[in-house]
Amino acid sequence: MATKLDFYAVLEVSRTATPDELKKAYRKQAMRYHPDRNPGDHEAEARFKDVNEAYDVLKDDQKRAAYDRFGHDAFEGGGMGGAGGFGGFGGGGLGDIFDQMFGDMMGGRRGGGRRSGADVQVQVEISLTEAFTGVTRPVEVRTRVTCSACDGSGSSDPDAGSTTCPTCHGAGKVRAQQGFFLVERACPTCHGAGKIVRDPCTFCHGTGTEEETRTIEIRIPAGVEDGTRIRMSGEGESGGKGVQPGDLYVHVAVSSHDIFQRDGANIYCRVPLRMTQAALGTEIEVPVIDGSRSKVKIPAGTQTGENFRLRGKGFSVLRSSARGDMYIQVVVETPAHLSKRQRELLEEFETEAAGQDHAKGSPENAGFFSKVRDFFEGKV
């Protein structure tokens, strides 16, 4: 089953990314997957094409607006930026726009002049570790499928035939003037079929479809981001005999993690250290998203906010074997409850520290209070 990934996920940017952020992300991804830098790597070549396709749409304000509203459907039936289209709506002009806007009323999309069953939307929630490895998730989908009693014909008697709908004269749709706009909608008599069955099927009442709950295996690739939308062609609702089925759109929600925070292909892990560990230096062992462990050497005098980078220990990159980096963010923790002996030792430490050169022992502290002194003396 063909899947098409979200353009924002391809460029690894948020849906609110600015034009400059889009350009920066595009250059980064294009450089990473350029064929000249990945000779013979078909996966990188495919990724390079995806990156160019995504940027071609998102850099254009009209195309981006259309994509944000209609997704990949905005560019079907004529290609992106086709002649006679509307900023990438394909070659059908306003008729295609009306089909997109009123697709639910018509029971499906036109898709290049052909009617189709309605699209189905489902949401799947996965964990951060599942997003890292990729996962196959069975999902129950309630859709309309071809009627088992009449095989989608809508008639109890296959020889009875049908007549042309007198309302739409076989067009399957009717038009109505609303102010300055001419709006198309599904014919209320034949429900978009263009024909009326003479001897309607008693099971489906002439619609040619019936409701059914199906279990569909959804393959979610490694590296997906929260909000990614995956299209599964032909897995939506049936439109009856002679009508192509709609599509299934899977919206992926990635839940938060207790230890890791993700930012694109990078992962951040906040590690609290005791004051003594930060002052004296230590070695700690941290978990990695792939289930392994890694040791990190913390030098003496480490301050809150310092980061330690672990190359290649970050998140998986969509459609690539590459991985981002992992950053250990240090937070020096002040002891909250002291024993009598601990307090005595710290008081001794403070007495000795007060007699030392602050610029060496506590440079940030000394620098701050030096600026405060200059402020009160009117020097700054």
Backbone angles phi, psi at 360, to 5 degrees: -95, -45
**Backbone region of residue 120 per phi and psi (left: phi > 0; alpha: psi in -120 to 50; beta: other values):** beta
The angle subtended at Cα 274 by Cα 271 and Cα 275, nearest 5°, is 125
**Helix (H/G/I), strand (E/B), else coil: 65:** helix
Q: What is the DSSP string of 10-34?
A: HHT--TT--HHHHHHHHHHHHHHH-
Q: Which of 185, 184, 190, 186 is nearest to 165 (CA)?
A: 190
Close Cβ partners of 276 (under 8 Å, ≥ 6 residues apart):
none
What gap in Å lies between CA 23 and CA 21, rounded to an integer? 5
Residue 269, annotated as binding a ligand = no
Q: Which of 198, 207, 107, 189 is nearest to 149 (CA)?
A: 207
Residues 287/259, Cβ–Cβ less than 8 Å: yes
Q: How many helices (H) and strands (E) does the chain have?
A: 11, 15
| Distances 238 to 32, 86, 109, 151, 252 between C-alpha atoms, Å | 41, 29, 12, 12, 24
Distance of CA 306 to the CA centre of its chain: 30
Residue 150, annotated as binding a ligand = yes
What gap in Å lies between CA 7 and CA 1, rounded to an integer? 19
Q: What is the DSSP string of 147-181?
A: -TTTTTS-BSSTTT-EEE-TTTTTSSEEEEEETTE
Residue 187, annotated as binding a ligand = yes
Q: Output the known binding site.
A: 147, 150, 165, 168, 187, 190, 201, 204
Which residues are documented as binding site for Zn(2+)?
147, 150, 165, 168, 187, 190, 201, 204
